[in-house]
């Protein structure tokens, strides 16, 4: 049995990137944020309560530093400064999300909060003034609490609620927004929020929560997509896709057992959301479905814990996207060997998958325990998706690196990560991957979910203690700006002094 040791290639992969390679002129370089993480103004101007407001206010102890997003970076009042930062970086595009409860305070479309609509109109118009393309996500984890009280994503009415919300959004912003993303990271919504306790609403229905949520989510995506396709695309001429978190899961060895384990891991992590939309047959992944059905029978359930799609639902969902948004950060190696397996609740998604993972200790570590710099992981993911789903249009909608609050402005490890990631992107482009853009996570420091403010992903540091939430560029911002300007990754590039950096007129 041959051990696949990717890490031994680590130094050679990243120390000597290929020279003379350029990104296409029409390749979109941008950054990304999410509404709850940066906006603040949690109850300002008619905004309703969302599930993160509710959780952080009623159970502050579940956040590592007991903080919340009540103020965050206060982008609600600082959006012009954020656009100025985009100009400083020379961004082609900016991906951000809408707060459902800022637009529809109780989640339902009968009451539209005009102040919320005005905020996003002003923000979008400010970007377009400087030729920055908005990529707008309808849902990035902050469900209105009123809808959660009615069942949230496991309610069969959820697709209807989401379609109603999408209609309000398309009507108000679709004349200017041409890139729509329905959902950000279904895995984190469904597995972490409904099948575990690591994201709001912490439902922890380990047996069925992930699967019930997954089905309603992809149906909701389909309803919003077809709404746009039939009623709005003929007039607005935009695109509508979905973003899925796709980290790389490769086999630890070249054994047939580890190859099979890696495939099951990919199905459990992201295939249950991608397969219904992108595969020719539709529905949940075949192998994982069979495992869950078998386990359910053995566990005494009268039917599979993974719901089936009707033929009508399968047809509705299949192909309901114009592009595949990929959030990618890291990788791990997967094995069927018992020595690598960890304990998981039974029944649950992870106990159904029943595989083990291994991360080589020499892979560089970030401030986030889950995030390591894995060699060639972007290339592996993108070429895998190219092969599996007939070369779909792809965007990297998130990719980034975390540091601690004490790390300051000289973030050499983040620079190393971005240069490695973007060299991997160039490798994928050379391999014929149909990749149209790359959004770095994140524009500015933000509320990092369950870790609060203990992890920082921003190209710009935010002083959360200052009334103005002052934004200051890190060294990585200088490097990213030069990559965008030159369309080249120069490993030896050193930026000018900070005082000379801001473009004239900014």
pLDDT band at 8 (very low <50, low <70, confident <90, very high): very low
Average pLDDT, the chain: 95
Give the angle subtended at the CA of 149 by the CAs of 145 and 150, to the nearest 5°: 120
Q: Calculate Rg over the CA atoms of the chain.
A: 22
Share of the chain above pLDDT 90, in %: 94
Write down the residue that tokens 């999408």 correspond to.
166
Instruction: Indicate whether 443 belongs to any domain.
Output: yes
Q: How many CB atoms lie within 10 A of CB 13?
A: 17
Average pLDDT of 163-168? Answer: 99
Indicate if 451 belongs to the active site.
no
Query: Residue 154 in contact with residue 213, Cβ under 8 Å?
Result: yes
Q: What is the mean pLDDT of residues 280-309?
A: 98
On whether residue 442 sits in a domain, the answer given is: yes
For residues 106-117, give the mean pLDDT.
Answer: 98
Here the tokens at position 446 are: 């933000």
pLDDT at 10 over 80: no
User: What does the alpha-carbon distance between residue 67 and residue 45 come to, in Å, rounded to a whole number?
Assistant: 22
β-bridge partners, 89: none
In this prediction, residue 500 carries a pLDDT of 53
Per-residue pLDDT, averaged over 397-403, amounts to 98
pLDDT at 9: 39
CATH code of the domain covering residue 157? 3.20.20.80
Structurally, how many domains does the chain consist of? 1
Q: How far apart are CA 266 and CA 285, in angstroms?
A: 10
pLDDT confidence of residue 271:
98
173 within some domain: yes
Q: Name the residue among 259, 397, 258 with its Cα closest to residue 321.
A: 397
**Phi-psi domain of 333 (left: phi exceeds 0; alpha: psi -120 through 50; beta: other):** beta
**d(C-alpha 242, C-alpha 397), whole Å:** 10
Please determine, for residue 70, whether its predicted confidence score (pLDDT) is greater than 80: yes
Burial classification of residue 369, based on how many CB atoms lie within 10 Å of its CB (0-12 exposed, 13-18 middle, 19 or more buried): exposed
Residue 496, pLDDT score: 83
Nearest to 247 by CA among 223, 219, 268, 226: 268
Task: Report how far residue 275's alpha carbon sits from residue 318's, in angstroms, rounded to the nearest whole number.
Answer: 8
Q: Is residue 35 part of a domain?
A: yes
Tell me the C-alpha distance between 444 and 31, whole Å.
Answer: 9
Q: What is the mean pLDDT of residues 116-120?
A: 98
pLDDT average, residue stretch 429-440: 98
Whole-angstrom distance, CA of residue 442 vs CA of residue 276:
29
Q: What are the residues whose beta carbons fall under 8 Å from the beta carbon of 138, sequence distance 6 or more?
A: 97, 98, 100, 162, 165, 166, 169, 180, 181, 182, 183, 224
For residue 143, give the 3-state DSSP assignment. Answer: coil
- Which burial class, exposed, middle or buried, applies to 146 when counting CB atoms under 10 A from its CB (0-12, 13-18, 19+)? middle
In a domain, 102, yes or no: yes
The question of whether 293 is a catalytic residue gets the answer no
pLDDT of residue 499: 55
366 pLDDT more than 70: yes
Pick the closest to residue 32 from 425, 325, 331 (CA basis). 325
Cβ contact 170:225 at 8 Å = no
User: Token pair for residue 282?
Assistant: 């539709």
Q: What is the pLDDT of residue 17?
A: 55
70-76-79 Cα angle (round to 5): 140
Q: Per the domain annotation, does 498 fall within a domain?
A: no
Query: Which residues face 439 on adjacent strands?
Result: 30
pLDDT at residue 92, as a whole number = 98
Task: Locate 368 and state its tokens.
Answer: 């986030």
3 pLDDT above the threshold of 70: no
Residue 504, pLDDT > 90, answer: no
**205-248 pLDDT tens trace:** 999 999 999 999 999 999 999 999 999 999 999 999 999 999 99
Q: Give the tens place of pLDDT for each residue, 245-275.
A: 999 999 999 999 999 999 999 999 999 999 9
Q: How many CA atoms lie within 13 A of 36 on its CB side?
A: 28
Domain containing residue 60:
28-486
Cα dihedral: 51, 55, 58, 61 (round 10): -170
Structure tokens at 466: 């200052």
Residue 483 reports pLDDT greater than 80: yes
The pair phi, psi for residue 111, each rounded to 5°, is -125, 115
Residue 505 lies in a domain: no
Helices 75-89 + 114-129 axis angle, to 10? 10
Tokens of 89: 């970086």
Contact 14/377 with Cβ under 8 angstroms?
no
Mean pLDDT value across residues 67-89: 98
Residue 3, in any domain of the structure: no
Distance from C-alpha of 175 to C-alpha of 113, rounded to nearest angstrom: 19
Find out whether the peptide bond into 347 is cis, omega within 30 degrees of 0: yes
User: Does the pLDDT value for residue 422 go beyond 90?
Assistant: yes
**Active-site choice (163, 398, 448, 482):** 398
- pLDDT above 70 covers a percentage of the chain that reads 94
Phi/psi for 135 (5° steps) reads -110, 115
Number of H helices, E strands in the chain: 20, 13
Of 39, 88, 185, 482, catalytic = 185
Residue 502, pLDDT > 60, answer no
pLDDT for the residue 498: 61
Q: With bands split at pLDDT 50, 70 and 90, how would you rate the model's confidence at 2?
A: very low
Mean pLDDT, rounded, for 118-137: 98
Give the model's pLDDT for residue 13.
46
Quick one: average pLDDT of 139-158?
98
Q: Model confidence over 308-342: pLDDT tens digits?
A: 999 999 999 999 999 999 999 999 999 999 999 99
């Amino acid at each position: 049995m041959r051990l696949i040791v990717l890490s031994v290639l680590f130094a050679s992969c990243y120390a000597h990137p290929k020279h003379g390679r350029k990104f296409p002129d029409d390749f979109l370089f941008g950054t990304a944020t999410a509404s709850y993480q940066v906006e603040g103004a949690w109850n300002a101007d008619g905004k309703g309560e969302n599930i993160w407001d509710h959780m952080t206010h009623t159970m502050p102890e579940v956040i590592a530093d007991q903080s919340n997003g009540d103020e965050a970076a206060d982008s609600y009042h600082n959006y012009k400064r954020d656009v100025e930062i985009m100009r400083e970086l020379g961004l082609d595009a900016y991906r951000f999300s809408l707060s459902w409860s800022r637009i529809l305070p109780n989640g339902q479309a009968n009451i539209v909060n005009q102040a919320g609509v005005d905020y996003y109109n002003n923000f979008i118009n400010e970007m377009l003034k400087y030729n920055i393309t908005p990529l707008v996500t309808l849902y990035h984890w902050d469900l209105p609490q009123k809808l959660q009280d009615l069942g949230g994503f496991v309610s069969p009415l959820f697709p209807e609620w989401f379609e109603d919300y999408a209609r309000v959004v398309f009507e108000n912003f679709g004349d200017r927004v041409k890139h729509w993303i329905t959902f950000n990271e279904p895995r984190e919504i469904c597995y972490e929020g409904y099948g575990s306790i690591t994201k709001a609403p912490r439902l922890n229905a380990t047996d069925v929560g992930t699967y019930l949520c997954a089905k309603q989510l992809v149906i909701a995506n389909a309803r919003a997509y077809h709404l746009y396709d039939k009623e709005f695309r003929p007039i607005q001429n935009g695109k509508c896709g979905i973003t899925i978190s796709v980290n790389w899961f490769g086999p630890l060895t070249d054994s047939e057992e580890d190859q099979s384990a890696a495939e099951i891991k990919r199905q459990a992590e992201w295939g249950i959301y991608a397969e219904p939309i992108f595969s020719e047959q539709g529905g949940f992944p075949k192998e994982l479905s069979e495992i869950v059905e078998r386990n359910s029978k053995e566990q005494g359930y009268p039917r599979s814990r993974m719901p089936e799609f009707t033929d009508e639902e399968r047809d509705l969902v299949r192909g309901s996207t114009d592009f595949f948004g990929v959030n990618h950060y890291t990788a791990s190696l997967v094995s069927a060997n018992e020595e690598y397996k960890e304990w998981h609740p039974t029944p649950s998604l992870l106990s159904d998958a029943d595989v083990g993972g291994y991360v080589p200790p020499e892979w560089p570590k970030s401030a986030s325990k889950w995030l390591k710099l894995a060699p060639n992981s972007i290339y592996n993911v993108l070429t895998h998706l190219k092969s599996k789903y007939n070369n779909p249009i792809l965007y990297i909608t998130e990719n980034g690196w975390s540091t601690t609050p004490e790390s300051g402005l000289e973030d050499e490890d983040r620079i190393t990560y971005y240069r490695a990631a973007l060299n991997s992107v160039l490798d994928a482009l050379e391999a014929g991957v149909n990749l149209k853009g790359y959004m770095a996570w994140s524009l500015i420091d933000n509320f990092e979910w369950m870790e609060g403010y203990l992890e920082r992903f921003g190209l710009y540091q935010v002083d959360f203690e200052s009334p103005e939430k002052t934004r200051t560029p890190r060294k990585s911002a200088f490097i990213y700006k030069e990559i965008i300007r030159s369309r080249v990754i120069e490993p030896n590039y050193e930026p000018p002094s900070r005082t000379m950096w801001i473009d004239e007129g900014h």
